[in-house]
Amino acid sequence: MAIEFTKYHGLGNDFILIDNRSSSTPLLTPEQAQKLCDRHFGIGADGVIFALPGENGTDYTMRIFNSDGSEPEMCGNGIRCLAAFLADLEGNSRQSDQYRIHTLAGAIVPQLISDEQVKVDMGIPKLLASEIPTTLCAASEKVINQPLEVAGKTWEVTCVSMGNPHCITFVEDVAAIPLDTIGSQFEHHPVFPQRTNTEFIQVVRRDYLKMRVWERGAGITLACGTGACASLVAGVLTDRCDRTATVELPGGCLQIEWSEIDQHIYMTGPATQVFQGRYEI
Ligand SMILES: N[C@@H](CCC[C@H](N)C(=O)O)C(=O)O
């Protein structure tokens, strides 16, 4: 069997997009997606995204498999790529299209605001321990500046769910963090029953954060949209940053706003097509 795909990236967080509009079941299994993501034996990507028919009154549904085959609830960079993919599939100009997308984290609304930029209404962040989920504190409490033992050190972490779990640590210098050795220990820590994405943040100014990320199911990536949103929320909760800030990632910058009006998070950043192809499964 052969499958048509288009490769996109959002700040170097890269995805294989599949046109799945004719069926509500992903055209690939998690194991096949894992093979496609392999950077040596496959196409190479951080995840595979399927554009399926809408559910619950939405225009489309997004399903995504991480490069390890696990299925996350949401993906911020991925949903910008999906919006660009849908506009390209529909032959629309990228000036003003807006889609309501069903995800496992609820309805998310990306809007194409120019040829390159997509602004996404990411919804309201969840803050209670039971919603992350984590056992770091009581189920009905917020997880703010909690001590967590990892790799023989106590880290002060704040946890936020953007539909998917994030564990955020503020540090003096993100470049000094040995992400390749400690990232996986955070991800698999027993206090996170569904594993976690892990962000390290350096506050450059109240409106400018530097971030490095270890993603659940993908490891070190060049950018993470939900992670940037969760990190801004953690910065506001701990009074380290403003409600609007630039988040600089290894792959480039995202603009994040936590609206005081509707409490939704708005993320703006690029979505770029790389190439199209056909893959023999
Ligand atoms: N890169 C994504 C997040 C993808 C999902 C994540 N690995 C998880 O398992 O939660 C983003 O841009 O948000």
pLDDT digits (tens, 9 = 90+) for 65-111: 999 999 999 999 999 999 999 999 988 777 778 999 999 999 999 99
Structure token digits, residue 1: 């069997």
Average pLDDT over residues 117-141: 98
Cα-flanking dihedrals φ and ψ of residue 12, to 5°? 85, -5
Ligand 1 centre from 223 Cα, in Å? 9
Phi-psi region of 145 (alpha: psi -120 to 50; beta: other; left: phi over 0): left
Predicted local confidence at residue 91, as pLDDT:
86
For the chain, residues classed under CATH 3.10.310.10 are: 2-121+270-280, 129-263
Residue at token pair 């955070």? 186
Give ligand 1 pocket residues (Cβ under 6 A): 13, 66, 72, 75-78, 164, 197, 215-218, 221, 224-227
> Which residues have CB under 8 Å from 40's CB, separation 6+?
none
Task: Please indicate if the annotation marks 226 as binding a ligand.
Answer: yes
pTM over 0.95: yes
Ligand 1 centre from 18 Cα, in Å? 17
Closest protein CA for atom 4 of ligand 1: 75
Q: What CATH code would you report for 129-263?
A: 3.10.310.10
> Among the atoms of ligand 1, which is closest to the Cα of residue 227?
13
> Among the atoms of ligand 1, which is closest to the Cα of residue 78?
12
Mutate to test the pocket of ligand 1, among 167, 213, 226 (most ligand atoms within 8 A of CB): 226
Closest protein CA for atom 2 of ligand 1: 75
Closest CA to 202 of 245, 160, 144: 245
Band (131; pLDDT cuts 50, 70, 90):
very high
Mean pLDDT of the chain: 97
Phi-psi region of 12 (alpha: psi -120 to 50; beta: other; left: phi over 0): left
Average pLDDT over residues 37-41: 98
Residue type, 44: G
Half-sphere exposure of residue 140: CA atoms within 13 angstroms, side-chain side: 0
CATH topology of domain 2-121+270-280: Diaminopimelate Epimerase; Chain A, domain 1 (3.10.310)
**Model confidence at 278: pLDDT above 90:** yes
Average pLDDT over residues 206-230: 99
Predicted local confidence at residue 94, as pLDDT:
72
**Model confidence at 16: pLDDT above 80:** yes
224 carries an active-site annotation: yes
Mutate to test the pocket of ligand 1, among 120, 162, 192, 224 (most ligand atoms within 8 A of CB): 224
Closest CA to 121 of 47, 197, 229: 229
75 carries an active-site annotation: yes
Parallel/antiparallel/unpaired status of strands 47-53 and 13-19: parallel
Would you say the ipTM is above 0.90?
yes
**Model confidence at 36: pLDDT above 90:** yes
Tell me the C-alpha to C-alpha distance, in Å, between residue 51 and each of 26, 139, 209, 244: 9, 34, 32, 30
Predicted local confidence at residue 92, as pLDDT:
78
Distance CA(17)–CA(148), nearest Å, equals 37
On the 0-12 / 13-18 / 19+ scale of CB atoms within 10 A, 230 is buried
Average pLDDT over residues 203-217: 99
Structure token digits, residue 90: 């529909």
